[in-house]
Structure 1
Amino acid sequence: MRTDTIPHLQYDYDRGDLTDETLLMLYERMLKPRMIEEKMLILLRQGKISKWFSGMGQEAIAVGVSSVMQEEEYILPMHRNLGVFTTRKVPLNRLFSQWQGKANGFTKGRDRSFHFGTQEYKIVGMISHLGPQFGVADGIGLGNLLKDNGQICAVFTGEGGTSEGDIHEALNVASVWNLPVLFCIENNGYGLSTPTYEQFRCEDLADRGAGYGMEAHIIEGNHILQVYTQLKEITESMRANPRPVMVEFKTFRMRGHEEASGTKYVPQELMDQWALKDPIENYAGYLRKEGILTEELEVQLKEAIIHEISENLEIAFNEPPIESSPQQEISDVYAPVAEIQVEPGNQTEEIRLIDAISQGLRQSMERHDKLVIMGQDIAEYGGVFKITQGFLEQFGRERIRNTPICESAIVEAAMGLSINGFKAVMEMQFADFVTSGFNPIVNYLAKTHYRWGQKADVVIRMPCGAGVGAGPFHSQTNEAWFTHTPGLKVVYPAFPYDATGLLNAAINDPNPVMFFEHKALYRSIRQEVPSDYYTLPIGKASLLREGNEISIITYGAGVHWALDYLDRNLEISADLLDLRTLSPLDEEAVFQSVRKTGKVVLLQEDSLFGGMASDLSALIAEHCFESLDGPIKRVASLETPVPFAGKLEEDYLPHARFEQAVKELLAY
């Protein structure tokens, strides 16, 4: 054997009871992503791929984690974990197509790099915001607990990502709920260009485990046998005794955050030190020393990988540029919905809006065994509005889950549950608090199906609205934040009958639904509601009054303001259209009414600028201009936060301005 091929090793390797086959398997699994990366860097310089995030020098972590995970267990990698994809045997031609934006990739050209998932290989890729990955892993881990399947999941982040609030929330939830999640932190030394001493002050990130009440370990991330053997022991223990475990891998990022970033900000001596710790060179030296990796075998392995790369690159290069149409792109924003409507029965009971929502939740829980409700104080306490009172006793603690005060992590957990085959309803205690969970709603739930075909089977309940003296932080009706986001459905019922039917439909829908419930209507509006389960179609408005002089188009509390006004002014012949669903919008019902009457008042509780009335006005102007006999009137609340004092709140809301607008338009 040539002794010059055996460099001084930086690590002491102890094979224990590992066979030669296992030792060689680990080498080959590390070698493949390294050789793919070397080829990708060439293609990047040639302009044949657009961006690259290198994991060179860190292959032992991705390969080690993937090698101890079972095939059916989910892994949630980051963009430097190519070894996860190759170890899971994702076809290289599909990876290469993904990186070139070709149709045979995983996102139909809609996202790049490793920003994708695949149920076939049980991989859930990250989004650029990093933090939500941990919360999604919580949801997958919760799904495994509920299935009692003995499975775990593994999720990655870098040391920089651990500063994000979502990470802290998710670790806390995992600890409180004892979720079987392996939290893998790659301590790379730098978050882009920011060194660790500017990111955190604890000596080791694993020290944080104690603060969460979570078991934590430190592993030398470039030492493949240490990674593999320690993780094998940890993961086997987690399957037998489900719990969260944090692992900090000491490693280093040898190339830029992405290739354009470079590494000039890193001291050369630090680069030199870590270059000596290259996981592949050191491990290969050990295998040569042990006589396990011969020169002939090494050549064979490399030639086989080169051939595999070349063959699959040719397939990807020969694939034509992706083509689509506006219609196809729009149709893929939402997951298909099975249009199964359940007609209401004849037996009814007069109930309040709040009771109707509770009834819909209860009926859906009875209908769907894999439906989980999560929210602050929803279990023993029954929620701040008592909508889930008695649910804990009927459905049990596993499905009716009190949560810590962490909106982001719970939205993300709901997404993870959906990935793992469940449905989830999250109660946002007040719609105002959605700001604390805004990112995963608009960037994860809303975009997931369009990006890689994964449904987000999640309903977020949004108690909202003014008129109850709750002040600036408990009174907003913020639906326009979400109607602006493709991929979300927005439902806003004004009556008990609609609330039950639409809530049941929203829970059946495999897409994310923001379900708005006006607090001032909870106990003030009563109606006969069918006692048995039924659904109403999402996306259909309701024509409550018919007339010829004017169209009043509104939703939520505005419906009742309009009804009250029309009841006091019976001489007005008006169409009153309750939109019920804001996204998708029943445009045809709007246009049909306006074309009939020629005059329209658009009423919303939200402040005017950027709200639903503005878009409705634009749509009507574009499609019904020739039918109009007067200006389009928009009526809304003042351009201020919602005030607390009764007189101020009364002036803030648009009741009087609405009545004046109707009078002016009728007289036009």
Structure 2
Amino acid sequence: MEFETDFLDDTEQLKLYKALVEPRLIEEKMLVLLRQGKISKWFSGIGQEAISVGVAMALQPDEYILTMHRNLGVFTSRNVPLYRLFSQWQGKSSGFTKGRDRSFHFGSQEYKIVGMISHLGPQLGVANGIALASKLNKSNLVTAVFTGEGGTSEGDFHEALNVASVWQLPVLFCIENNGYGLSTPTKEQYNCEHLADRALGYGMEAHIIDGNNIIEVYKQIKNIASSVRKHPRPILIEFKTFRMRGHEEASGTKYVPEDTLKAWGLKDPVSNYEAFLKSSGVLTDMLENEIKNNISTKINKSLEMTFNDSDIVPDVTKELNDVYQPTIYHEVKPITECENIRFIDAISNALSESMNMHKDLVIMGQDIAEYGGVFKITDGFVEAFGKERVRNTPICESSIIEAAMGLSIAGIKSVVELQFADFISSGFNPVVNYLAKSYYRWNQHADVVLRMPCGAGVGAGPFHSQTNEAWFTKTPGLKVVYPAFPYDAKGLLNTAINDPNPVLFFEHKALYRTMKQDVPMGYYTLPFGKASVIRTGHAVTIVSYGAAVHWALEVLNKFEQIDADLIDLRTLQPLDTESIYNSVKKTGRVIILQEDSLFGGIASDISALITEHCFEFLDAPIKRVASLDTPIPFNKNLEAQYLPIQRFEKELFDLLNY
């Protein structure tokens, strides 16, 4: 292995050596502890250290690096305290996730490191969001993100490269091609000679680097990063390397041919660079021993601190309180002057006013810029706020939601318009596994609002009509809002944008242009978790939300003799159980109306909560009325049969006559 060090003095060469040796010595110690049963699992990066160390040393300390589970050298090169790393791996309180996650599934704003989740792909799109923030802020910073050759087969990889190229984002996409995805060799993973060749299809520059040569990695990344800071653009980098141990230690390496292991063993990044430094007189045996002894001493002291650290004592209150970032609701009261506007206008007004309130707020979505979105909600926004903040996106829900997460990491709020709520399924993973869990795992909030045009009644069929809120009310960490009136929609959307937690904001398409109301002009907010009691009575409690509230109103207007409390939930997470319980205790009868299909819907949970907390006050069984347990049909007559509008009237009278 040849090392060209003309651009480095002896001190810099030794600095790279120390940075390279440290993760190797830690790895060797971890393997000993694993055999002793003192740690439970280990994902070894032995043989790949030059990549992590070289990239981390080449970038500036304020530039984000998004890591995988074999990038220990990034953490050590960024001087993350070893006792905190060891505590993380041991599930101790001094770790980064309070024992809630293991391995490298964490990040740290202090060290500008963002860790992976097990689904591999999402961090690529998150890197785009961080890089977009750099571009918007004109900070000239590079973002580097790692993936393995196996991860390049995921859709997130291709979505992320496409978005980065279209938006010319300053991202270094670093592929650690180490020969195997668990036990599957590269020849069974992709059918091209070099993964770097894929860059051509995305109009991107690409480089292939010897991932075992610390000098080559450091030199090339330093030059590439310098160029990208001056001329922002994405670059695909394939590091050729090899994984010398199993995917994780338990899996072993029996599937790897012995001659392959021997050949790559001769290319070991540590021993080769060490031999070079000795041959050039930069490193002596004495200095080598001194360096390794100092590192070993630091490792042992840090391990002692970790082992002496007390185990985490479970605390239910603490666990529940850490699901969401605490937020203080700031009430902004509406002015008295109103205008009679449609539901769709209220949404548009809220977005516009929030764009003025938050000067760096970014809106992203398909066709939302010059075209104004398929529902024309953002019509005129490009002229008002510019294309940097009102961004058309490719058709790639997953990558855009991930980019929104990256913007949040970099301190920028965003609103993502899903063209239809149904299409969230194409971005489901980052919503439920990244946005929802980041604050609980490593104290990183996801300041993202996902706008969800939803609902039936417009003859749009199975793929444009779902009201799929139950997919998300089930997921801790997400907030779910579902207004029924223009006044509520405007105030709640402003609150959603203020909230640092991820919010799914459902907007019923059938209400967009049919529902009008006097709405205060100017900016105001409404609180989450506070239902609206639209009608009051003593005979029955009707609980509903979204378009179904209007169906209930139609029945009550038709039969004025019905003495009912009508509760519009407005937000489903958090849920205003107090208003529900108080009403049920007063009326003794309750019927829950939802547009979603019956089984597994939120009506079932509300019913269970009422049974648990108000059973002794009930004078009749709880009624749930919902759509049929079928996909939503297109035909007008079939859709009418599917929806619960007609069934609700009968079920309400049956309950009253019980």
Q: Same fold (TM over 0.5)?
A: yes
1:197 matched residue in structure 2: 187
State yes or no: 1:515 paired with 2:505: yes
Q: Distance in 2 between matches of 1:338 and 1:46?
A: 48
2:267 matched residue in structure 1: 277
1:24 matched residue in structure 2: 14
Match of 1:460 among 435, 450, 453: 450
Match of 2:536 among 540, 546, 550: 546
Deviation at 1:574, TM superposition (A): 0.1
2:386 matched residue in structure 1: 396
Deviation at 1:338, TM superposition (A): 2.3
Q: Distance in 2 between matches of 1:327 and 1:17?
A: 56
Match of 1:451 among 422, 438, 441: 441
2:609 matched residue in structure 1: 619
Q: Distance in 1 between matches of 2:644 and 2:3?
A: 74
1:352 matched residue in structure 2: 342
1:384 matched residue in structure 2: 374
Q: Distance in 1 between matches of 2:356 and 2:471?
A: 32
Q: Which runs of 4+ in 1 moved over 4 A?
A: none
2:26 matched residue in structure 1: 36
Please identify, of 77-86 and 338-347, the stretch whose mean Cα deviation from structure 2 is larger. 338-347
State yes or no: 1:332 paired with 2:332: no
Q: Distance in 1 between matches of 2:255 and 2:348?
A: 57
Deviation at 1:51, TM superposition (A): 1.2
2:577 matched residue in structure 1: 587
Which amino acid in 2 is paired with 1:66?
A: A
Deviation at 1:339, TM superposition (A): 2.0
| Aligned residue runs from structure 1 range 88-237, under 5 A | 88-237=78-227
Q: Deviations over 1:454-480 (max 9, x none)?
A: 000000000000000000100000000
1:481 matched residue in structure 2: 471
Which amino acid in 1 is paired with 2:77?
A: T
1:6 matched residue in structure 2: none
Deviation at 1:358, TM superposition (A): 0.4
Q: Distance in 1 between matches of 2:620 and 2:328?
A: 41
Q: Distance in 2 between matches of 1:517 and 1:233?
A: 48
Deviation at 1:47, TM superposition (A): 2.1
| Aligned residue runs from structure 1 range 358-377, under 5 A | 358-377=348-367
Deviation at 1:266, TM superposition (A): 0.6
Deviation at 1:332, TM superposition (A): 0.2
State yes or no: 1:557 paired with 2:547: yes
1:15 matched residue in structure 2: 5
State yes or no: 1:315 paired with 2:305: yes
Q: Distance in 2 between matches of 1:138 and 1:291?
A: 43
Task: Structure 1 unaligned segments of length 5 or more: list them.
Answer: 1-10
1:637 matched residue in structure 2: 627
| Number of aligned residue pairs | 658
| Aligned residue runs from structure 1 range 399-418, under 5 A | 399-418=389-408
1:265 matched residue in structure 2: 255
Specify the SS of the correspondent of 2:319: helix
Which amino acid in 1 is paired with 2:88?
A: Q
1:4 matched residue in structure 2: none
Q: Deviations over 1:171-221 (max 9, x none)?
A: 100000000001100001000011101110111000001101000000000
Specify the SS of the correspondent of 1:624: helix
Specify the SS of the correspondent of 2:216: helix
1:420 matched residue in structure 2: 410
Specify the SS of the correspondent of 1:321: coil
1:495 matched residue in structure 2: 485
Q: Distance in 1 between matches of 2:77 and 2:123?
A: 20
Q: Distance in 2 between matches of 1:365 and 1:434?
A: 24
Deviation at 1:229, TM superposition (A): 0.7
State yes or no: 1:440 paired with 2:398: no
Which amino acid in 2 is paired with 1:78?
A: M
Specify the SS of the correspondent of 1:567: helix
Which amino acid in 2 is paired with 1:374?
A: M
State yes or no: 1:660 paired with 2:650: yes
Q: Distance in 2 between matches of 1:370 and 1:438?
A: 26
State yes or no: 1:431 paired with 2:421: yes
Deviation at 1:286, TM superposition (A): 0.3
Specify the SS of the correspondent of 1:218: strand
TM-score by length of 2: 1.00
Q: Distance in 2 between matches of 1:224 and 1:394?
A: 49
Q: Distance in 2 between matches of 1:303 and 1:479?
A: 57
Which amino acid in 1 is paired with 2:415?
A: V
CA RMSD of aligned residues (A): 0.6
Q: Deviations over 1:50-69 (max 9, x none)?
A: 21110001100000000011
TM-score by length of 1: 0.98
Which amino acid in 2 is paired with 1:334?
A: Y
Match of 1:67 among 37, 57, 62: 57
Q: Distance in 1 between matches of 2:350 and 2:190?
A: 46
Q: Distance in 1 between matches of 2:115 and 2:144?
A: 12
Q: Distance in 1 between matches of 2:37 and 2:349?
A: 58
Q: Distance in 1 between matches of 2:76 and 2:2?
A: 27
Q: Distance in 2 between matches of 1:538 and 1:317?
A: 43
Aligned identity (percent) is 68
Q: Deviations over 1:555-591 (max 9, x none)?
A: 0011000011100100000000000000111111111
Which amino acid in 2 is paired with 1:661?
A: E
Specify the SS of the correspondent of 1:635: strand
Specify the SS of the correspondent of 1:374: strand
Deviation at 1:17, TM superposition (A): 1.9
Which amino acid in 2 is paired with 1:145?
A: K
Q: Distance in 2 between matches of 1:603 and 1:112?
A: 42
Q: Distance in 2 between matches of 1:642 and 1:12?
A: 65
Specify the SS of the correspondent of 2:394: coil
Specify the SS of the correspondent of 2:317: helix
Specify the SS of the correspondent of 1:156: strand
